[in-house]
Amino acid sequence: MLKIINTSLFFLALLVFTSCENMVTDVEAPPSDPKIVVTGFISPDNEFNRIRVYMSRPLYSTYSTSAGYPGESSTEYKDATVVLSDGINTVTIDYSGDLNGYSVDQADFPIVKGTTYYLKVTAPGGFLAESSCTVPVDSPPDIEVTSIDSTNDFGNKTIQITGRYKDIEGTGHNYSVSVGTMSTWNWNGNDDAYFEKIGFQNGEYYITDEFNDNQFFAFKTYEHYLQTVNSNKIYLFLALTDIDFYNYHKGMDNYEGDNPFSEPTPIYSNITGGVGIFAAYNQKIIEIEL
């Protein structure tokens, strides 16, 4: 009798799994219309401020974040009209192949602390996208490096950095912190600086003071192997950001792409008429000689 029951359960399970498979394969996903995708982060500390414009990828196609926003396809608009305004002055930004986007020189159109900027993008196909962001008024706090642990092994130096910074008094402050090395990468005949980020063993890359006003935020990197023949410097970046910058990057941190076993994570967007991100920040850079 036990054998009969087990056999019946096996065929019942097989029937269930077969039915599930038919349910999945028989569903036809509705076609998705393309959207304009806009990404841009502006700062008074940038020599050039860049906006990138893409066509969204169709639903259920291969995931790509090559330009920084999930859903961007390899189709980049190079003939869009990109207009940036501070409410008084307006500039139409040209596409720059060297800078890989619509870029404007800080000297030609200054980004100023405390100012709100308005972005308008029109692209072939009748696309219109708009957004705005406000540059934080304050400067980032100082970073205190509390320890640098290092060892030297056959010409390679292993380093681990611990540090902290104190929140600016008053709520409404958001931060982005990163630690890493700078390398040179030859791209199309040009030597471009490349930042290699070191992961955190403890601490957060993106933090808000909503529940931690005027507190210290600490971090500790993983051990990092640094070839002393190539570099003997570490760079710490601390940015005071607007809320859009924080919400976007926190969402990206939790994004699992096309992982079928992960919980769906909506990616933050503040672009009207499309998707993407337009945000602002002030930045402080610390250079440490090892």
Give the residue, 9 or 223, on which the prediction is more confident: 223
pTM reported for the whole predicted model: 0.80
Summarised one tens digit per residue, pLDDT across range 39-73 is 999 999 999 999 999 988 655 544 444 445 665 55
What average pLDDT does the structure give for the chain? Answer: 82
Domain residue limits, the chain: 32-136+243-281, 143-241
Summarised one tens digit per residue, pLDDT across range 184-197 is 766 666 666 678 89
Summarised one tens digit per residue, pLDDT across range 24-41 is 444 454 556 788 999 999
The per-residue DSSP string of 176-195 comes to: EEEEEEEEEEEETTEEEEEE
